[in-house]
Chains A and B, each alone.
Chain A
Amino acid sequence: GDSVTQMEGPVTLSEEAFLTINCTYTATGYPSLFWYVQYPGEGLQLLLKATKADDKGSNKGFEATYRKETTSFHLEKGSVQVSDSAVYFCALSDRGSGNTGKLIFGQGTTLQVKP
């Protein structure tokens, strides 16, 4: 079945460092891809998304490019801040799954940014 694999955390960085969180997927159809962020004690918020190959999603300085050839959707940010400390989830939605729009999530990667 479809699946999402994220790099294991925690990832610990100093403020202003470059961030990459790896995400790869397997899917039989043509998925849309998402990154969600969960701040401490909160639910998940949509960070960015991409719906077709070579699309780049971006928001709040974060970017991710939908790479069909490598089945990847890595999250990047050029300069992280302490306020970026959170858990990040990669997810996919298989367009072939009919009308449910069900998402499949990775395990989540914890990011801790130190001042």
Chain B
Amino acid sequence: DVKVTQSSRYLVKRTGEKVFLECVQDMDHENMFWYRQDPGLGLRLIYFSYDVKMKEKGDIPEGYSVSREKKERFSLILESASTNQTSMYLCASSHAGQGNYGYTFGSGTRLTVV
């Protein structure tokens, strides 16, 4: 069964910590995405990558960075976690092309920063 796997379902971190959220896909997808989901705000795109070592900023990149050293893995990094980064984080992947395929999502990581 093809899938996107996020390393943790629940995570609690302290303010100021450096946090790594990992995402791995086994579908040989070119594109990978990180979103955060907050009540009343829907899904907001943080960063995306359309190739190894390539990345582009989404709508809310401030306070985040990403790494894509291998095609199957896309990491989201919170350089210095803050309480306003408490959220549900969703990773997704898709084939390259002109958008007919849609995304496959991971199950999400619920991050709490205390």
Q: Does B104 contact A (CB under 8 A)?
A: yes
Q: What is the minimal beta-carbon distance from A75 to any residue of chain B, in angstroms?
A: 15
Shortest Cβ distance from A49 into B: residue = B102
Which listed residue (A41, A94, A106, A108) contacts B99, Cβ 8 A? A94
Contacts of A101 in B (CB 8 A): 31, 94-99, 101
Contacts of B84 in A (CB 8 A): none
Contact with B along A13-49 (1 / 0, CB 8 A): 0000000000000000001101010000111111001
Shortest Cβ distance from A48 into B: residue = B102
Which listed residue (A51, A97, A99, A106) contacts B42, Cβ 8 A? A106
Q: What is the minimal beta-carbon distance from B25 to any residue of chain A, in angstroms?
A: 12
Q: Does A89 contact B (CB under 8 A)?
A: yes
Q: Does A107 contact B (CB under 8 A)?
A: yes
Q: Does A102 contact B (CB under 8 A)?
A: yes
Contacts of A67 in B (CB 8 A): none
Shortest Cβ distance from B93 into A: residue = A101
Contact with B along A83-115 (1 / 0, CB 8 A): 000000101011101111111011110000000
Q: What is the minimal beta-carbon distance from A17 to any residue of chain B, in angstroms?
A: 25
Whole-angstrom CA separation of A36 from B108 in the bound complex: 15
Q: Does B87 contact A (CB under 8 A)?
A: no
Shortest Cβ distance from B31 into A: residue = A101
Whole-angstrom CA separation of A89 from B90 in the bound complex: 14
A34 touches B108 (CB 8 A): no
Whole-angstrom CA separation of A75 from B69 in the bound complex: 39
